[in-house]
Homo-oligomer: A and B are copies of this chain.
Amino acid sequence: MSAGQGLRLHTYFRSSAAFRVRIALELKGLAWEPVPWQLAAGAHCGEAYREIASFGLVPLLEIDGLRLQQSMPIIEYLDARFPAVPLLPAAEPEKARARALAQLVACEIHPLNNLRVLQYLRGTLGLPEAEVGTWYRHWCAEGLARMETELNRVPASGDYALGASPSIVDCFLIPQLFNARRFELDLQPYARVRHIEQACMALPAFQRAQPASQADAR
């Protein structure tokens, strides 16, 4: 099979986890077909999506007759399957650091800020919108500070998170910054992060992957 043939990504334009996978697909130059689900309307909670996705979550990538769930394993699979444009470093120590930076976004920031958590805060807990915003910015600021500290621990060897070319870390970081802006977090304290964002967003792959470029963007 030729690279990318038959790749279908179950996605939602605003899902930052789906955005990570879209960046990876675009960086690798793969052709892919979007299957959009309107998360804000709860479309992914119905029987139709549950039959496709045991977790009931976006993204899900159909590839090689498989249905892969969770952004991290999807990107790791793509990296092993299409190694021409590597997104993970080859050596184990560097690979561990790359994964740790990606996990910082995936485990420490994003889970506290995704749609169903905000809905719980607003609905079940009845929090006013101002307190929901404060909650969002608290976890995002704390996580980005950790990210900035670790990035600065290693001298920059290029414009991207890990050096001269984009990697899995940029796939995770950039979508989180889109979210941060939506919730009006001040990104001024994170100079290295902002430099990386500028470099990434100058690339067509990131432009094509961003929410506003998606067919389901409303």
Q: Is the interface of A mostly helix, strand, loop or mixed?
A: helix
User: Which of B55, B68, B97, B135 is close to A146, meaning CB atoms less than 8 Å apart?
Assistant: B55
A62 CB-CB contact with B under 8 Å: no
Q: Contact: A92 with B96, CB < 8 Å?
A: no
Q: How many residues of A contact B (CB 8 A)?
A: 43
User: Which of B54, B100, B111, B135 is close to A69, meaning CB atoms less than 8 Å apart?
Assistant: B100
- In the bound assembly, the distance between CA atoms of A42 and B110 in angstroms comes to 23
Q: Contact: B111 with A96, CB < 8 Å?
A: no
User: Which of B64, B66, B73, B96 is close to A66, meaning CB atoms less than 8 Å apart?
Assistant: B96
User: Chain B residues near A117 (CB, 8 Å)?
Assistant: 112
- In the bound assembly, the distance between CA atoms of A104 and B74 in angstroms comes to 13
Contact residues, A128-144 vs B (CB, 8 A): 131, 135, 138
Q: Contact: A96 with B77, CB < 8 Å?
A: yes
User: Chain B residues near A150 (CB, 8 Å)?
Assistant: 54-55, 69
In the complex, what's the smallest C-beta–C-beta distance from A5 to chain B, in angstroms? 17
Interface centre among A70, A93, A95, A146 (most CB of B within 10 A): A70
Q: Contact: B131 with A125, CB < 8 Å?
A: yes
